[in-house]
Amino acid sequence: DAKTTQPPSMDCAEGRAANLPCNHSTISGNEYVYWYRQIHSQGPQYIIHGLKNNETNEMASLIITEDRKSSTLILPHATLRDTAVYYCIVRVGGGNAGNMLTFGGGTRLMVKP
Amino acid sequence: GAVVSQHPSRVICKSGTSVKIECRSLDFQATTMFWYRQFPKKSLMLMATSNEGSKATYEQGVEKDKFLINHASLTLSTLTVTSAHPEDSSFYICSAINLAGEQYFGPGTRLTVT
């Protein structure tokens, strides 16, 4: 699986949009971009994933560049409860691939009042 | 979304004893489950892949005789830390994959070995 690079930490003001970048310049054509987050002392929580098109769900939006070498996770209106470590992971297969996830260092997002 | 549970959520044990951690998929069947460990302020590290009805596949550097994994049914995998030592103290997290390939994580088990 391709490696990802994320800033180790970011701050965001409550109510503002949080934009978390991820570089995955060696991504292969069949690799998806996944985002998970981990709130302190809890298991990781799935947020969103995509292949090449931008995706949006109730939690966030995922913007993938046209060359797929980077992506941005957007939390449109960050709340204090969004404070967590956010992991960007690239992995083969968006469906029944059954592959394990390889976690990098992630970005520690601190939402401040 | 699908629910994965772990039991216990916290456990304290003495050096030399064994501890069993359960991982259950509550509303779906999981042919594959994964076990991770996480040290403070570090990322998750995969320990092993647990497949129902077959032997687990361990990552390099993980002792299979120390970390016994049993995936006896489609909804339950167990991790037993044998002869635990203080350096085994960690946060252990399991995940389960449903038939659609979606992976869901348990809430984690914090093990403290004294």
What is the tens place of the pLDDT at every residue in B5-18?
999 999 999 999 99
How high is the pLDDT of residue B31? 83
Show residues of chain A in contact with B97, CB under 8 Å.
Answer: 98
Chain A with chain B: Cβ pairs closer than 8 A: 53
Region A3-18: mean pLDDT is: 96
Q: How far apart are CA B102 and CA B105, in angstroms?
A: 10
Q: What percent of chain B has pLDDT over 90?
A: 75
Encoded tokens for A105: 């260092």
Contact between chains at A96 and B100 (C-beta distance less than 8 A): yes
Strands (E) in A2-54, as ranges, are 9-13, 18-23, 31-38, 45-50
Q: How far apart are CA A76 and CA A16, in angstroms?
A: 7
Chain A CB within 8 Å of residue B81 CB: no
Dihedral pair phi/psi, residue B87, rounded to 5°: -70, -10
Q: What percent of chain A has pLDDT over 90?
A: 79
Q: A42 by DSSP, 3-state: which?
A: coil
Show residues of chain B in contact with A43, CB under 8 Å.
Answer: 4, 6, 93, 95, 105-108
Region B40-46: mean pLDDT is: 92
Chain B CB within 8 Å of residue A50 CB: no
pLDDT in tens, A70-102: 999 999 999 999 999 999 999 886 554 456 788
Nearest to A40 by CA among A99, A94, A108, A91: A108
Chain B CB within 8 Å of residue A15 CB: no
Q: How far apart are CA B87 and CA B63, in angstroms?
A: 14
Strands (E) in B1-114, as ranges, are 4-7, 10-13, 19-25, 32-38, 45-51, 57-58, 67-73, 76-81, 90-97, 103-105, 109-113
Query: To probe the interface with B, which of A58, A100, A107, A110 has the most B CB atoms within 10 Å?
Result: A100
Nearest to A102 by CA among B104, B13, B36, B85: B36
